[in-house]
Amino acid sequence: MATFTERMIGAAKLDVATYEEVEADTTATGQAMLVVVLSSVAAGIGALGSMGIVGLLVGTIGALVGWFIWAGLIFIIGTKILPEPQTEADMGQLLRTIGFASSPGILRLLGFIPVLGTMLSFAVAIWMLVATVVATRQALDYKSTGRAVAVCAIGFVVYVVVNVVIGSILGPGAMAAASVS
């Protein structure tokens, strides 16, 4: 069994074996949560100049809530709406794999660097999205990467709509802080 750091590196490298290991390890949900928190805190530190300490705290809480909602959406869409014949998954498997897909987010710590930080944050967001597709494919036992992309795309649209609704209720400041995650 890989260490926590080895798992984060493997997840960032999009290593299928790492995602399979995390999926199967029912004790790794806390580790996945820690990855989400570390990624969010790194993003918050990288954006301290624009978000402040309140943004860091709200962003971290938002990241945890967002992780749970995102995993739930992927679970419902992937197992109920677009399953493949061999699809078999539970919510814990999605929480673990999707949590570790946040591993590249640690690099958002460098977001404070003028110009480079913005470009790096954008690249890391794409990297995390690709990692989420790999995590989804492995957790849902898909043979098709295209199906995992479709599940993530549908889930993303629903997630954005939920964020907009929540943002309209709580105000734009809450949405901005949550976007740090």
pLDDT of residue 111: 83
d(CA 70, CA 178): 13
Its pTM stands at 0.88
Least confident of 8-22, 97-111, 140-154, 158-172: 158-172
pLDDT surpassing 50 at residue 180? no
Least confident of 14-18, 31-35, 101-105, 169-173: 169-173
pLDDT surpassing 90 at residue 5? yes
Helix, strand, coil proportions of the chain in percent (round to 5)? 85, 0, 15
